[in-house]
Structure 1
């Protein structure tokens, strides 16, 4: 009799496990992922939503940060410091592009002599003449073959 009780206890436990597995298989998540196509579409839409949310969130945060940084001019110490940095950057850019910085409060500008000198120092790749075959290879950095 003891063996029959033991077998009936095991049978009851197995029946309980079957009921739990059936209950788990009935969940929405499992039903959604029972087919490869459903799973693929679910993951595609999930990825699209994640990407769109990331882009929109980053756009919002960057615009708020830019707005807050634009308000720095009103803070006396940081505003002066930011203006000094902006002047240094303008001066460095003017120097590297061969533009003479004018004196005064206005930003640097180019005059014609500086533009001509800069053009001679850094010629445009498109400024090379066409080869003997009439094809202009200057835009591609290809030189025409030497005539033999």
Structure 2
């Protein structure tokens, strides 16, 4: 029995980040379901979602520098002859996938026209004389963003 407990503790220490992530996801899901039953106001929802939005913006900001630094580090660890060949392949691959993603994005935007309905509603409100109002909370959170 003691050997089994020791093995379980070794496995837990080895995979602590995985276990903590799974527990955090389950807790977040449970707390979210419980909070939904309280029917919070829109201001409370904005305040609760604000830290997550800031976190996601920070993660998006880190993606490109991490990719570039990992490519540079990988190429620096190679010898000169293979580094030049692999570096050329990497640059061609990166540029071609970026161009392909841009073309697909433009095609989808031109065909789907996202936000078209929302823009028509805003234009009708503005043309009727009313301006969309922003609360002090919205202004402050936009300033922090």
Instruction: Tell me the TM-score normalized by structure 1.
Output: 0.29
Pick the structure with more helix per residue.
2
Larger radius of gyration: 1
Q: Which has the higher contact order (CA 8 A, sep 6+)?
A: 2
